[in-house]
Structure 1
Amino acid sequence: MGFNEYYSLSALLKDGHKRQPHLKVVSFDLFDTLVIRRLHDPDLVKKPVARYISELALSLGIRITAREVQQLRDMIESRHRQETGKCFDDQEACYPKFMSELLQIVTGESQTDDLLARVTRFELGMEQQMIIPRMEIVNWLRELAAEGKRVLVVSDIYLPSDHLKTLVRRAGFLDSVEEVISSADTFLAKASGKAYQYIADKFELDRTGWLHVGDNPISDGLRPTEFGIEAMVLKDAAERRRKSIVKRYINYSKGMPFWRGRALQQLMLPHEGENREQPALYREGYSFLAPIIGGFLQHIAERCLEQSITKIFFLSREGYTFKKFWEKAIPSLYPQGGLPEIEYLYVSRMALASASCSNQGLTKTNARIAFLPKGNRDFNDICRIFKLKGEGFLPHLEKYNLQPDDCLSFQHSGYDPEIEQRFFKMLEDAEFQAEVKGQTRSSGQAMLRYFEDVGFFEHNNIALVDIGWLGTIQRFLYEAVCHRSDKPRLFGFLLGATRGIEFPSDQNNMLEGVIYDKFKFDIAGSTVLYARDLFEEACRAPHPTLNGYKLTENGYELEFRQEDDDIGRAEQKQDKYFAPLQRGLIDAAPRYGAASAILGYNMSDYKPWLNYLMVSKLAFPKSCEIAKIRHKYHLDDFHGKHTPELTGKARRSRTLWDYPLFHLKYNPLLRVRLFMRHIYDRICE
């Protein structure tokens, strides 16, 4: 009796369905048959496990490198296989036995049950992240079980059957399987053929009507046929090609950093049943934004451990999505623990602007920040942003010969430097500042009560994570709390830091741009400036923006912007439009964590590839990509309703993502010209 080989899954299933009526028992190989691995080499899963054991040992005061752990594991496993070979035909090993010995040697302890459970849980978690059910075969398995066939899963591997059942359960088809059999339990493997005799005896199986399906010509083909069992061997050419691509990218990444990000993306890709048709925006969130956000957050995790940061507050509405991504991705990279606590903090520029004035008043710098948006023009806009009642300032305006509607922004007609100087002189007036502090005191007190409730002042070192760009939120926040003796040190991390206004950095208030920072010359990273609204809209929380903090008799109240007006409805429409993009971003998060853990790289390793992604997607995108991705409506409560004159400089500031679709399609040099201008602007900064 021979066995048949099949070079495609469809051919195997076609023949399997023909044989199905006379079958009584069907046994399946597990790996590369019922499930495939994202990796080309299953031993790569051992690398993050070795790093995990090294970190666990360090927590016990024992210094041993991950490389040394891996070498020790390989030596112990090899010795166990040699000892097994003295009594059995198959040189198999059993994971709990050799891993327990490894942990005893590393820790010097005789009882390592707790450590073994933790390491096992982590390794199985990594294995589970790296395997994908082959849904066509799994569906056939379920069909066989539904017809009353006896279905078994058989594997030659060092993981015992209990561990394999965990993987099969997570793969979703354990309920259709009678039993899962592993060579690690009996040291009787398919490779020698002994497993088939053992299975026949244990389950009282007749060889007639028994079919075995696998991928190894010896273990799953020759040996079962020698035992009198029908066999089908899958030699999937497409799967071999996919593995060769993974192998190539991982091998390239060892010597060329550019390919490390590409290897990351390859390991993140959906396969088999995961690979379903999705909207274009979903794919952009999954393939473009997820690696960037993942690298951003992984870098923050590293910096937090370096700086002994014990709490992370994710700020503004974008922080909501950052926190969700963190929860699904970052713990996989740090299974040993030690990561800071995380919390979403309800803040916004509008809410903090008023609170920042409660102790220091209105500073000249903050007034200038208010006029950065082109829609802001006069003192009325100052009052709107900092929540001041204009009538209370009329005597002060009159004192300095000012009117509430005098133009204070050079971007508008009617601007007079003399008027601006009188305004700045008013800011130096103690009576004016006393009025500012009096009007904003309740807002500042309400904000502090909220911060106390969330434990803001219970930590010495705190990370503030925000999208960017000027660090205005962190500036206002620090100014609102810096008068307190229990203020923590603030480490700000922005996706991109444009630093258009000098940031008040000191030992208690630091700011770092991760993907882009103006202080670090990075042309590729600076392409995030092409479409800043895209990153904000993609990561925006589902709740309306926070307008302010209100002091109440019982404490405080968070005041959110109403959504029942035209602007609110437009924002809801925008959220609905970008929902697939955000869903793709979050779906990719656990795969980022697992893939990065396998590779052992960090954001600096991925940066060359991320730079390539950003330049190609933001500076040289296809017209259809811009049409799909760019925002339809972007709310900025900081921005007033005034319209400045379009001077030559204002026209020149238009970016690629602002151009009409017609220009994007039919102006072939537009992208090159704008990119050269972008480079020039960065050089001149």
Structure 2
Amino acid sequence: MSDTRLIRWVEKTMFDRRVETVLSSLPGPLGRDDNNVFSLHELEGFADVDVVSFDFFDTLFFREHLCMDQVFAKTAQLGAALVDAPREEVFRALSACRGYGSFQLKRQMQAAGKGDEPRLCDIFARALAPFVADPAERARLAHRLVELETGIELSNLVPNAEAAPVLRNLKLLGRRVIVVSDMYLPAASLAKVLAAHGLDGHVDDLIVSSEFGRTKNSGDLFEVVADRCGVPRERVLHVGDNWNNDCVRPRERGFRSVHYYNHDQENEVRRVSGLHALPRPGSVRARELRRDHGLADPRSLSSLDRVVSQVIAPAAALFVHDVLTRAVRRRSSHLFFLTRDGTIFREIAEAMVAAAPSLYPLEAEFRTLATSRATGALLGFTPTDSDYLYITTEYLSEVKFSFARFRRIFGVSDSDFHALSEATRSHVDWLGDDMGIDGFRDLYWGWDDFRRLVQSSVHRKTALVTGYLEQEGLFRAHNPLLVDIGYSGTWGKQISPALEKRERMGLPVPDEIGFEFFATNRFFTGNVGRMHPSITMGPGRILDHRRTDLALACLNYAWLEPFFLDPTLGKLDGFEAQGGRIRPRFRDPAFTVAERARIEGLRHALVGRCAQFAGDLLAREGTVEELRRLVQDRMVRLVGYPRRGEVGAINSLAHERGMETVKAQEIAPHFWPNNFRAKINYLMMNDHWIQGSLSRSHMGVLNHALAWYFARTRTDFEDWKP
């Protein structure tokens, strides 16, 4: 047994013994006397009662997934992402405020004679003070946290099976029904829970301690009950699970009361609370998170469906969660999903918002934005830069310069070219289709009719691109986020001249255009200095090149595209005006009917799995950061050290690469050891799935050496504009 397996076995054995101790300490059955009821139906037999008052938690409603401490932790975990400050610090502050912070506010209220129950939004606002200076923004975030916790409770609470028939029968007997709760949430939150389960029509009044600054624990809240009921106190019957708050205190104030004891529920509450208090070893915690969120374990994933559901989908869901959370925090007016591989993230975002609306209270509008290296290249041209035309032609065509390809890329039509003077056309023929950069430079500056034609053609195509971006609302958006699979910096560099031109003309430009990427797939750090100040780009949210193991996965970028590329769209050819609007023009995708059906089926499963994951994030315990580490580590294992079955599963998915020179190649091509170093460098530069290649060629043992080689040879890991 390896050291790692031995450590995990010892951890699990010790943890299991602690679990047995918790389970053995659960309370036994409660003896029957005149002070308790075991069924809510017993309340229907009480005589001389006009009003029946119910406790809320553990009487009418039970927490199904999370105990109270877990709810508090969950709110802190999700709320920390809404504040523009270090998450761990905000999480600690929001967690601690439920203890000492709440206690201090309670003491201040008692000293001022204003009761003893602070509002939850006041507790949160006090905790946020070190991170948010603006009182209005702090109040907004505090109310948002209250809404978030309401959503968590709404997903977490289930009604007592007896509640609906008992409340209905009491109403038929002519009794008034009220709910009285010591609760940090406002009454509106509890009202949402009642309404969600169809109980609001049976409840006449809802009295919550946070609304009045008084508690059942002190007995003062029952004075509010007496005033609101308008009947003699001895004709009010209160029932609840807490002996002190629900029996002793109401009797001291002249009410009748009984103790509701649900043996199974009491055991469940104590079991969950006791297990939550146990410190979890790392291996146990990871196993529980993988189980609760459907993540892949370290074993081989031999089928494509398992790769999608257990690795790709959780990673995509975490990425979209980050994007949506940042959009909420920045109050972005628009989220732009870039074609072709960004469109899947729009579908995922829409599904996740629908599955967990309380988690993502977005103000943003979702838009799909057609972009490509070729159309973006038009935005970077200036009339005084002839070399840009030559170099960009080689960059986009990925081969040596060709005058024919230049004409196609920059929109010089046959009719326009033949309208040039005979001398100009003869000079082009003399230079030849593969003319060098000096010859092209001479053609551009020495022949005026050619220069005017090129400038006119580029201006015409550029006007369509900028008109399209204007039409889609990019330039007038407030803090927009642009979402895509990976980053090279190219499009950000290309759009920068358009932003600068708009500024010179006095036209609006967003204060900040944030790019959000799943992965950092290339490291063109030189692009950063050529970006407009409003553009911010950071490393990938899931695959961040600054971690060496993740950087290796980032470089092996080809394996991502088949999962995210839109099968309904081919390559973007440009834009055209139709019916007063500018529309993108795509080629037909190069998939057979069967291949497209297979990809669309996987995409449908991927979106549905992400929606389920959003529900799990809201309903189950577990920080996003813990989940991120598990997902990242499993992706590194899949991409960096794949089994042969996993290589075969991924290669079974049809794909269409964007780059001409590699689009027909397999994701994990066969690789042979001759001229090893040259082939490794070639594979790295061309985004091949290097480890998959090694695995297929029976050289998977070299994967670790490759990781070391990559770390030694790629030292320019640097962040750009966080």
Please give the range of the TM-score, normalised by the shorter of the 2 chains: 0.5 to 0.7
Partners of 2:121 and 2:143 within 8 A in 1: no
Name 2:719's counterpart in structure 1.
none
Aligned residues with identical type, % of pairs: 15
| 2:119 is the counterpart of 1:95 | yes
1:290 partnered with 2:308:
no
Which amino acid is the alignment partner of residue 321 of structure 2? Answer: G
Equivalent in 596, 619, 632 of residue 653 of structure 2: 632
Name the SS for the 2:604 alignment partner. Answer: helix
Q: Partner of 1:231 in structure 2?
A: 261
Count of residues paired in the alignment: 604
Q: What letter matches 1:466 in structure 2?
A: D
- Shift in alpha-carbon separation, 1:267–1:562, aligned structure 2, 3 A: same
Kindly indicate whether residue 602 of structure 2 is the aligned counterpart of residue 574 of structure 1: no
- 1:127: how far off? 1.6
C-alpha distance in structure 1 between counterparts of 2:44 and 2:205, whole Å: 22
Asked if residue 556 in structure 1 is aligned to residue 577 in structure 2, the reply is no
Residue deviations 1:403-448 (CA, integer Å, cap 9, x gap): xxxxxxxxxxxxxxxx6xx454554343477665454432211112
1:522 CA drift (Å): 2.8
Match of 1:674 among 698, 703, 706: 703
The alpha carbon displacement at 1:582 in A equals 2.3
2:124 aligned with 1:129? no
Secondary structure class of the residue paired with 1:366: helix
Under a length normalisation based on structure 1, what TM-score does the superposition of the two structures give? Answer: 0.63
8 A contact 1:321–1:540 mirrored in 2? yes
Amino acid at match of 1:400: L
Deviation of 1:125 (Å): 0.6
Equivalence map 1:22-421=2 (5 Å): 27=54, 29-30=56-57, 33-36=61-64, 38=66, 41=69, 44=73, 74-80=103-109, 93=117, 95=119, 118=140, 121-133=143-155, 137-138=159-160, 141-142=163-164, 153-159=179-185, 161-169=187-195, 174-175=200-201, 179-184=205-210, 187=214, 189=216, 202=229, 214=241, 216=242, 219=245, 227-228=257-258, 231-235=261-265, 242-243=272-273, 281-282=308-309, 284=311, 287-295=314-322, 313-320=336-343, 322=345, 344-353=368-377, 363-372=389-398, 392=417, 398-402=429-433
SS at match of 2:635: helix
Judging changes above 3 Å, is the alpha-carbon distance between structure 1 residues 630 and 469 closer, same or farther for their aligned structure 2 residues?
A: farther
1:468 aligns with 2:486: yes
The CA distance in 1 between the partners of 2:654 and 2:123, in whole Å, is 56
Question: What one-letter code is carried by the residue in structure 1 that aligns with 2:654?
Answer: Y
Question: 1:435 and 1:49, CA in 2 relative to 1: closer, same or farther beyond 3 A?
Answer: closer
Aligned-residue Cα RMSD (Å) equals: 6.4
Report SS of the residue matched to 1:30: coil
TM-score (ref. length: structure 2): 0.60
Instruction: Give, in angstroms, the shift of residue 343 of structure 1.
Output: 5.5
Q: How far apart are the structure 1 equivalents of 2:79 and 2:221?
A: 32
**Gapped runs of 5+ residues in structure 1?**
8-14, 56-64, 86-90, 107-111, 271-278, 403-418
Query: Is the contact made by 1:161 and 1:180 (CA closer than 8 Å) also made in structure 2?
Result: yes
Residue pair 1:38, 1:132 contacting (<8 A) in 2 also: no
Out of 465-474 and 552-561, give the one that drifted further.
552-561
CA contact 2:519–2:542 (8 Å) conserved in 1: yes
Provide the rounded CA distance (Å) in 2 between the counterparts of 1:539 and 1:153: 53
- Cα deviation for residue 188 of structure 1 reads 6.3
CA distance in 2, matches of 1:163, 1:573: 44
RCO comparison, higher one (Cα < 8 Å, 6+) = 1
Shift, 1:677, TM fit: 2.1
Query: Which residue is equivalent to 1:453?
Result: 471
Equivalent position amino acid for 2:149 in 1: E
2:540 aligns to what?
514
In structure 2, what is the equivalent of residue 498 of structure 1?
A: 521
Unaligned residue ranges in structure 2 (runs of 5+): 1-26, 31-37, 85-92, 296-304, 419-424, 445-449, 715-722
Q: What does residue range 427-442 of structure 1 map to in structure 2 within 5 Å?
A: 427-431=440-444, 436-442=454-460
Q: Is the 8 A contact 2:553 2:636 kept in 1?
A: yes
Equivalent residue, structure 2, for 1:527: 553
Alpha-carbon contact 2:376-2:491 (below 8 Å) kept: yes
Distance 1:102 1:289, change over 3 A: closer
Structure 1 distance, partners of 2:168, 2:565, is: 44
Deviation at 1:548, TM superposition (A): 1.6
Query: What is the distance in 1 between the residues matched to 2:199 and 2:711?
Result: 55
Residue type matched to 1:471 in 2?
G
Q: Which residue of 1 aligns with 2:717?
A: none
Superposition deviation, residue 481 in structure 1: 5.9
**Partners of 1:517 and 1:426 in 2: CA distance:** 44
